[in-house]
Amino acid sequence: MRRIGVFVCHCGSNIAATVDVKKVVEMALNEQGVVHAEDYPYMCSEAGQSRIAEAIKEKQLSGIVVCSCSPRMHEATFRKCAETCGLNPYLVEIANIREHCSWIHKDVEEATEKAVILMRAAVAKVHLNAPLQAGESAVTKRALVIGGGIAGIQTAIDIADAGYKVDIVEKTPSIGGRMSQLDKTFPTLDCSACILTPKMVEAASHENITIHTYSEVEKVSGFVGNFTVDIRKKARFVNMDKCTGCGVCQEKCPSKKPLNEFNRGLNTRTAIYTPFAQAIPNVPVIDPQSCIKLNTGKCGVCEKFCQVGAIDYTQKDEIITESYGAIVVATGFDTINLDKYGEYAYNESKDVITSLELERIMNAAGPTKGHLERLSDGKAPKEIVFIQCVGSRCSDQRGKPYCSKICCMYTAKHAMLIRDKYPDTNVTVFYIDVRTPGKNFDEFYRRAVEDYGVNYVKGQVGKVAPQPDGSLLVHGVDLLENKQILKKADMVVLATAIEPNPDVRKIATMLTASIDTNNFLTEAHPKLRPVESPTAGVFLSGVCQGPKDIPETVAQAGAAAVKVIGLLAKDKLKTNPCTAKADELRCNGCSQCANVCPYGAISYEVRQVNDHGIREDRRIAVVNSALCQGCGACTVTCPSGAMDLQGFSNRQIIAEVDAICR
């Protein structure tokens, strides 16, 4: 019989205000095997822990139950406390009477009854707990960063500077990401490319960084410290070792119809292309959809003009397999599709554009060489209307419920730049709220109003109506004047909501990392672990976790790098001893467990068993405890009840249920 101690925490008033802790102590003493029970205001405090330690020693406790907060908060604390007193840490159970009880109930009597029941279940489980020993696993000292935008680049540089190898996998032909598409950056108005390209060059020339562009993560297996990743390197049709980046092939390519993705489809590019002048690597790719040679067998112009013989039409996609200790997701964002917002006439008029399209129009390397002009007729717009919150802060089914966070600032930037460069162009911004928290942000917005004469009008626009004369009639409202406004504009710019890159769902599934209803990756803790995924070994950098601007992205990228470095600096990781185990007498070798195991931890061997005196060879499941993460999928799948999870055995769980139902 175990000698069990029960320790009930008040958590200040968090628990004690709703649960009668004295009553829980009193009831605990009635439980079989409980030889000690006490309550204390803060069990997790040093004084609280020393009371536990004393009780373990004095009463020779062989199992303890702490009735407190979620095991996610303090299970490790109390296990460590037990271990220092010579009690196996897996003989500690937590009854969560805070998150599961006091925080969600109001009635003291009912909450107390529930707390007693939770305590009773934990006591019943401790009776059956077995001492377990944690194993060890090695750490592969190499990190993978998925996404080569500013978030991924910064994370990779910071990890590489600490002396660890990093690979960046980028889907497009060049690293640089969204930031490379921006013209200027707020609130200092420095040129985006001028501050980004040195980072790109640094990453490319760093001895510890390997960049795989035009590549995608195909498959991920393994676990923290030991991931195995298949990377698909898409066929470039250009030999990277031979190409000098001279650009002649792009000048000569006769296929000029494909839309230029880098310029948001506002103009076209050739079939062989580098997305932009500062691309890294400066090696073009051939887009197989629009290449004449690859589709018809005729052409071959690029091959003819290439002086170094770098063109190779026979290239195939290649899959490489690499091992990593940690994975950082930095997949970034895109703007939402505006098909559902017919009232803004985005699909009807070329002169209704998104803010990201305006960035390309304002950029010297963009479709208009940096001249602000209407895409319909090339005329200079004299009246420009900006509409804020297009698809952001929408709880209808069309948009996103969150604030995209960056739009207020980039709109102030656009308005200011236009007024500065084209002083005879009027700029009106229709806003709901102007949100400018951030260093020098509100000052920046006020400069747009006070120094540059940008006209801010409070009220959302109802409709944009293209007119026969080519202008756009904006139906707006000035809520402060309580007047409707009909404004004729030459150009309308939509501050379109941002959303996580659509590929993130696929990547999150491969990594078993959780995402929220908006496809943003979930943090391990929203405040205290903001750059870690709940999945061990997976880290978050940039907008994939939530909307943020460049300074915040860079800060988060550094934070993610520190977490990766902390992991890679360890030679060994303690493994979770709560792994699955098969009962050889019950296992019938059906393979169902192996089919559901997400970690590939289950294999089979033929073994001689002695089943009640009958000796025979049977096919039996064997769990590799180094690979098993204790998820329990096999235990619920096993049709014969042969699979059991140590620390959470079927017997233990049934005992808990029995105690609850008693």
343 is a site residue for other proteins (CB under 8 A): yes
Cβ proximity to other proteins, 85 vs 485, nearer residue: 485
Helices (H), 43-107: 46-58, 71-84
Comparing C-alpha atoms, which of 166, 181, 291 is closest to residue 236? 291
Whether 368 contacts 511, CB under 8 Å: no
Cβ proximity to other proteins, 48 vs 399, nearer residue: 399
Cβ proximity to other proteins, 463 vs 607, nearer residue: 463
Residue 387 CB, nearest distance to other proteins (Å)?
Answer: 10
By CB under 8 A, name the one of 100, 393, 586, 618 that touches other proteins.
393
149 is a site residue for other proteins (CB under 8 A): no
By CB under 8 A, name the one of 63, 332, 399, 537 that touches other proteins.
399
Cβ proximity to other proteins, 464 vs 540, nearer residue: 464
Size of the site for other proteins (CB under 8 A): 22
Comparing C-alpha atoms, which of 52, 116, 120 is closest to residue 89? 52
Secondary structure class of 605 (helix, strand, coil): strand
By CB under 8 A, name the one of 432, 465, 596, 622 that touches other proteins.
432
Collect all residues with Cβ–Cβ distance below 8 Å to 220 and sequence separation of at least 6: 227, 228, 229, 230, 327, 510, 511
Cβ proximity to other proteins, 484 vs 603, nearer residue: 484
- Give the C-alpha separation, 474 to 352, whole Å: 11
394 is a site residue for other proteins (CB under 8 A): yes
The residues in 456-515 that bind other proteins, with binding defined as CB under 8 A, are 458-463, 475-477, 479, 482, 484-485
Structure tokens at 381: 């717009």
Residue 390 CB, nearest distance to other proteins (Å)?
Answer: 9
Whether 372 contacts 362, CB under 8 Å: yes
Cβ proximity to other proteins, 24 vs 429, nearer residue: 429
396 is a site residue for other proteins (CB under 8 A): yes
Give, in order, the Cα–Cα distances in Å from 48 to each of 39, 41, 66, 85, 584.
Answer: 9, 8, 11, 14, 44
The residues in 440-459 that bind other proteins, with binding defined as CB under 8 A, are 458-459
Which range in 208-216, 386-394, 574-582, 596-604 contacts other proteins by CB under 8 A? 386-394
- Provide the mask over 50-69, with x wherever binding to other proteins is found by CB under 8 A and - wherever it is not: --------------------
Whether 329 contacts 540, CB under 8 Å: yes
- Give the C-alpha separation, 21 to 41, whole Å: 10
Cβ proximity to other proteins, 116 vs 387, nearer residue: 387
33: left (phi over 0), alpha (psi -120 to 50) or beta: left
421 is a site residue for other proteins (CB under 8 A): no
Cβ proximity to other proteins, 133 vs 397, nearer residue: 397
Residue 517 CB, nearest distance to other proteins (Å)?
Answer: 16
Q: What is the DSSP letter of 223?
A: E
240-241-244-248 Cα dihedral, nearest 10 degrees: -50
- Tokens 């009962």: give the residue: 583
Which range in 41-49, 90-98, 291-299, 392-400 contacts other proteins by CB under 8 A? 392-400
Collect all residues with Cβ–Cβ distance below 8 Å to 188 and sequence separation of at least 6: 440
Cβ proximity to other proteins, 447 vs 475, nearer residue: 475
Residue 490 CB, nearest distance to other proteins (Å)?
Answer: 20
- Give the C-alpha separation, 554 to 552, whole Å: 5
Q: Regarding beta strands 580-582 and 643-645, do their DSSP bridges make them parallel or antiparallel, or are they unpaired?
A: antiparallel
Binding site for other proteins (CB under 8 A): 343, 389, 393-396, 398-399, 432, 458-463, 475-477, 479, 482, 484-485
